[in-house]
Structure 1
Amino acid sequence: MFGNRSHYWWMVLPAFILFFGFHTYPALQGLFYSFTNFRGYGNWEFVGFKNYINVFKDSRALSAYFFTLQFAIVATILTNIASLAIAVGLNSNIKLKTFLRAVYFIPNVLSILIVGFIFKFILSNLVPGIFPDGSVLSRNILGNPDLAWIGIVIVAVWQAMAFNTLLYLAGLQTISDDLYEAANIDGASRWQQFRMITFPLIAPFFTINMVLALKNFLMAFDHIMALTGGGPGRATESISIVIYRGGFEGGQFAYQSANAVIYFIVILVLSIVQLRALKLREN
């Protein structure tokens, strides 16, 4: 039955070809062009590390990196706090908890663009923009350069909570009810049970949720394009949007390829540092 192993290679080969053709090869091609002055068309020449050096001199790119990091950190924290609270609530003995689990997962299966356009209408017509000093704007929150990013965070967190909640629920199912019964006998409060039992035992799920959430938010694109398009002005322009517009609309294919390589390294480094830091906490 398992004598002829060549059959396995023939089964894997089509998937490997598709993955290499649509993922690995374009990535290697982008890396190659990042060392040239290619504009996406016409002739090109090698320029070495010139594109990489210019990225660090580009105020627009640096501003986009700052905004992206700010957005990703805030959204990651809020998503995990909210999803963990929802998961703990759904895991308790409440009525219709199976139905509510399905309801809370609905945002994860919806198109990001559709969700973004719906929230754009809501935030543009039903929610006024408010200055920090309490004065109300005549325009909507998405039209305020100082507050538009908050609208994006609201939408991103609302949709991301669904997947994170599902993972936290899976983690909560691994905790034995006997531990909570023993804690109740000892007179532990709900908060003490959460701090001493629940959170330590779902620490691995917290780690993976934090890493995945930060990675996904760092690559935010659809939410921003649907809500603000990077505006007003360039107030909510993420690095993904800078790469897209410069590379495919501005004739900066090689330059934005170098930017994309730097962006990949930033995400990789942040993910590794975050993973190791949270792993140490688990121990």
Structure 2
Amino acid sequence: MKKKYTFLLMVIPAFAIFFTFHTYPAIQGIFYSFTDYKGYGNWDLVGLKNYLNVFQDGRALSAYGFTFKFAIVGTIIVNIVSLLIALGLNANIKFRKTLRATYFLPFILSVLIVGYIFKFIFTHMLPELGDSLGIEFLSSNILGSPDLAWIGVVILAVWQSAAFNTLLYLAGLSTIDNQLYEAADIDGAGPWAKFWKITFPLVAPFLTINMVVAMKNFLMAFDQIVALTGGGPGQSTESISLLIYRGGFQGGEFAYQSANAVIYFIVIVAISLIQLRVLERREVK
């Protein structure tokens, strides 16, 4: 009985806090998505009108397009970079532990602070460096270009996200028995053969985790965009999260953006489930 009461005393407060600050607001947001609530004043039920309007909203569709492009490119690049870094850090080199701590440092830094630093780099340092070296591409501020600004956001997001992915890949590499590589050396296998036949298949479960987590994080990108471009130039780098925030809390579209948020939640869950099914099949192979 004492164990039972101790369990309840630990679980009930945590459940109450979680329900109050997470579950209840989520349920409330879903309810308001079926109304015309502006965030203040009176409201009326409108049914599925808000949901139907999302699919007819050019700004929302543009934000979805940018977010998907950003998330797909960012997920691919961050996993490639993280795996390469993990392979390098897993090698028998000097100062390996120090380098691991150094590579993890970006992950613990404030996203907004890092974003403003990168904004200064893209706006001032790189153009000045490009002018001095005579490199035309670097001499212009890519954050001011509607066609190139998203590249700057990808660079920032990948730089900061690579640390967490690298940590997971290092955990995966530590589970591989060195005897497998020794046997491969005896058979005359080269570096590429050892990677493709031994390393990659054995870290496949960690690849699955990294792909799903990275895609989810990039789809929910907010802080990096706010600090770096503010969604501009124009609306060229406006993500769904930023659109929902601006419309819901600044534009009097609380109910409409609540519907948008529900749709986006379903999209993220669907993408994550598809990734898990596809990548888990790859693990079996």
Q: TM-score, normalised by structure 2?
A: 0.95
In structure 1, the residue matched to 2:155 is 154
Distance of 2:230 and 2:57 partners within structure 1: 20
* Offset at residue 5 of structure 1 (A): 1.0
What's the CA shift for 1:6?
Answer: 2.5
Query: In structure 1, what is the Cα distance between the partners aligned to 2:41 and 2:175?
Result: 58
- Which residue of structure 2 lines up, in the alignment, with residue 167 of structure 1? 168
Q: Name the counterpart of 1:53.
A: 52
- Alpha carbons of structure 1 residues 177 and 4: separation in structure 2 relative to 1, 3 Å: closer
| Superposed displacement of residue 136, structure 1 | 4.6
Any residues of structure 2 matched to 1:180-199 within 5 Å, and which?
Answer: 180-199=181-200
Residue aligned with 1:211, SS: helix
Report if aligned partners of 1:56, 1:62 keep a CA contact under 8 Å in 2: yes
* AA of the residue aligned to 2:250: E
Q: Match for residue 236 of structure 2?
A: 235
CA deviation string 1:34-66 (max 9, x = no partner): 000000000000000000000000000000000
SS at match of 1:18: helix
Residue 83 of structure 1 corresponds to which residue in structure 2?
Answer: 82
1:15 aligns with 2:5: no
CA distance in structure 1 between the partners assigned to 2:125 and 2:101 by the alignment: 28
In the alignment, residue 206 of structure 1 is paired with which amino acid?
Answer: L
What code does the residue aligned with 1:181 have? E
Aligned residues: 279
Tell me by how many angstroms 1:11 deviates: 1.3
Structure 1: give runs of 5+ residues left out of the alignment: none
Alpha-carbon RMSD? 1.5
2:107 maps to 108
TM-score with structure 1 length normalisation?
0.96
Q: Which residue of 2 aligns with 1:202?
A: 203
Q: Provide the C-alpha distance between the structure 2 equivalents of 1:78 and 1:4, rounded to a whole number of angstroms.
A: 49
- Report the residue type matching 1:167 in the other structure: L
Which has a greater percent of helix? 2
Distance 1:264 1:54 in 2: 17
Q: Check conservation: 1:127, 1:141, Cα contact below 8 A.
A: no
Kept in 2, the 8 Å contact 1:128–1:141? The answer is: no
CA contact (8 A) 1:119 1:155 kept: yes
Structure 1 counterpart SS, 2:39: coil
Are the equivalent residues in 1 in contact too, given 2:126–2:138 (CA < 8 A)? no
